[in-house]
Amino acid sequence: MPELIQAPDIPFALAATILAAGTAWAVNGRILPATGNKGITYLTPLAEEAAKTLWAVFLGAPVLWTHAGFGMVEALVELWRRGARGVAAGWTALAAHSLFGFITARVYSGSGLLPALLVATLTHTAWNLAVVYYSGRAKSRLTGHK
């Protein structure tokens, strides 16, 4: 069975993960107050997919593992914020970002960076549309409507 990640890749994947999480945190911190759920649905996917993929490519880190690492960071944030109530959201974040990473890595290896970013962003946008819709928060969180 081939190894999915080599030992020399681990420091680069960790660095790309940390930089991507920090970049996304900074950008997303501006998106939500300015745009509410529309931003979560349409802008957050672009910010996160660009941060994860571009940091991985820039540092020469494995794209898939940078995305999975980002999902792990998001899972840990869910646990920290919500305690035991964040377990399901944490596992979902890990699974979703790992899936986005798999898709991104496959498209990147076959078609290049821009198509990979496009497909990953569209996939993440579809995911966020479903999450916002099914969470019953289709109206803006900023106005207090549910």
pLDDT value, residue 140:
53
pLDDT value, residue 3:
53
Q: How many CB atoms are closer than 10 A to CB 27? A: 16
pLDDT value, residue 32:
87
Domain residue limits, the chain: 9-137
Q: Give tens-digit pLDDT for 22-75.
A: 999 999 999 989 998 889 899 999 999 999 999 999 999 999 999 999 999 999
* Mean pLDDT of the 100-124 span: 97
Q: Give tens-digit pLDDT for 81-108.
A: 989 988 999 999 999 999 999 999 999 9
User: Per-residue pLDDT for 138 more than 70?
Assistant: no
* Mean pLDDT of the 8-26 span: 95
Tokens 């080599």, residue?
Answer: 6
Tokens 């099914």, residue?
Answer: 134
- pLDDT grade for 146, boundaries at 50, 70 and 90: very low
User: Per-residue pLDDT for 143 more than 90?
Assistant: no
- pLDDT grade for 131, boundaries at 50, 70 and 90: confident
User: Per-residue pLDDT for 142 more than 70?
Assistant: no
